[in-house]
Chain A
Amino acid sequence: MIVIQYVIPVLVFLLVGGAAGFALTFAAKTFEVESDETVNLILANLPGINCGACGQASCEAYAEAVKNGDCAPNLCKPGGIETAMGIGAILGIDVKPGERETAFVHCGGVTTEHKFSYVGTLSCVAASRYYNGKGNCKSGCLGFGDCKRVCAYGAISFVNGAAVIERKRCWACGMCIPVCPNNLISLRKHSERVKVMCRSSDSGKETRAICSNGCIACGICVKKCLKDAIRIENNCAVIDYEICNSCGVCAKTCPTKCISVDGYKRAEANLREVDATGDEEILPV
């Protein structure tokens, strides 16, 4: 009798469970969604971080677009060469891989004297509305971290009041580029090693007065460049990366050291120093 007491509930449980299981099995057949094998393979090959750098809403959307031929297979910036080649292998086509890129901040960032005390909203866009920010340089990094807030990968930190992007954490999604009110960030290929770390449009004299490592438009780099790849535009040196071969002569001769080879290394070295002493607080002065 006692046995039955135990057996019956178990049997009922098995019966109900089994019936539900069978019902689901048939339902699974009826409502089966056909998923495309190729899309799944491509999706498995993508980083799956849904950064949106390719212009699609998600990795899944990109995989479908690539499969249907609506998108080029080398648009995935985080995935880089390996992903592009992988997709090429899956689709059986030749892929010219896009080169790995990283965002770069064109400001060396040196603490300049402040024009006034800023006590408004802690955002670069807001600060830039008041006389181009509190710093003396009107085209430098404002230092309130709008770019840091949009970076999903924590690649941006602040050294000497200017944003620095850590190369190994940057996925080149480009989210930080439009939020900088001074337009200081651009995506640079890894082979483009020489960079001008200034976007100042002030005259040389003015720049010299307020910043120790800004471009003073002296034109030495233009004369020294072996390939004629540099020109002065709006009082600031601009490198034509179509021509530049990263020889670094300009960096050696620049009197203010605002042109640098592997600028990210210099920036990252500073970053490590800051890490050792604790992260710099961004405070309104």
Chain B
Amino acid sequence: MDLARNLIIILITCVLTENLVLSQFLGVCPFLGVSKKTSSSLGMGLMITFVMVCATMLTYPIYNFILMPLNIEFMNTISFILIIALFVQLTEMILKKHLPPLYKSLGIYLPLMVTNCAILAVTILNVSGDFNFGEALFNAFCSGIGFLLVMLIFSGVRARMERCDVPVSLRGMPITLIAAGIVSISFLGFGGIVEGIFGG
């Protein structure tokens, strides 16, 4: 019961209330860059979810069984980036082999995932002490799902905007940023859900 409760809290927190993109403003680069088409935003979301889970699978043990005993926790950023880079390269290879159209549509944003702050933030958050291994994995998965959800919502918003008569001075990136801000504000409405359901 306790486990289920924890997992549900993690799910709601990651996907809705503390969404990586809209509440913590992490991973905005791919969020703006590849959200033009639903197919590529879906691909990017899945990719990020995959890398987050895989990276957590390695970074959690590395932090707890190597860095902590040796008292060199300050090494976490640099060693986590190595692990993330490993999985980004791996997904790149897999994509190139099995899904070349998606590989082409993601373009530069695929290798840029190495320095994606959202992934690094999730891996660092996971070892910050609140989670056990299972919860950390679930947290990474849910964060990815949250990212995926926002990407899909925003690609819908942008598809609608294609057909709008936007003032000339706002065309392109400015109106996209304004729309991102409005979507972000709408996610504020989820605030307090966890407290409301589970009583603080």
Contacts and interface: CB of A to CB of B under 8 A. Distances in A.
Nearest to B103: A33
B93 A28 contact: yes
A16 B62 contact: yes
Given A20-B82, A20-B86, A27-B90, A12 B96 contact: no
Interface in A16-33: 16-17, 20, 23-24, 27-28, 30-33
A92 interface: no
A9 B93 contact: no
Nearest to A24: B89
Contacts of B67: 12
B78 A13 contact: yes
Contacts of A17: 82
Contact of A12 (B79, B86, B89): B79
Interface in B56-95: 62, 66-67, 70, 72, 74-75, 78-79, 82-83, 85-86, 89-90, 93-94
Contacts of A12: 66-67, 70, 72, 75, 79
Given A8-B70, A33-B97, A13 B79 contact: yes
Tell me whether chain A's interface is mostly helix, strand or loop, or mixed: helix
A30 B67 CA distance: 31
Interface residues of A, number: 15
A59 to B, nearest CB: 14
Tell me whether chain B's interface is mostly helix, strand or loop, or mixed: helix
A60 B184 CA distance: 40
Contacts of B78: 13
A27 B70 contact: no
A20 B85 contact: yes
Contacts of A9: 72, 74-75
Interface string A161-175: 000000000000000
Nearest to A11: B70
A9 B82 CA distance: 14
A33 B72 CA distance: 40
A24 B62 CA distance: 18
B93 A13 contact: no
Given A9-B72, A9-B75, A23 B86 contact: yes
A123 to B, nearest CB: 14
A16 B93 contact: no
Contacts of A8: 70, 72
B28 to A, nearest CB: 27
B83 A16 contact: yes
A201 B17 CA distance: 69
A31 B62 contact: no
Contacts of B62: 16
B97 A13 contact: no
A17 B94 CA distance: 21
A16 B90 contact: no
A124 B78 CA distance: 57
B86 A24 contact: yes
A32 B93 CA distance: 8
Given A12-B67, A12-B72, A33-B97, A24 B83 contact: no
A20 B96 CA distance: 19
Contacts of A28: 93
25 contacts: A8-B70, A8-B72, A9-B72, A9-B74, A12-B66, A12-B72, A16-B62, A16-B79, A16-B82, A16-B83, A17-B82, A20-B82, A20-B85, A20-B86, A23-B86, A24-B90, A27-B89, A27-B90, A27-B93, A31-B94, A31-B96, A31-B97, A32-B97, A33-B96, A33-B97
Interface of B: 62, 66-67, 70, 72, 74-75, 78-79, 82-83, 85-86, 89-90, 93-94, 96-97
Interface of A: 8-9, 12-13, 16-17, 20, 23-24, 27-28, 30-33
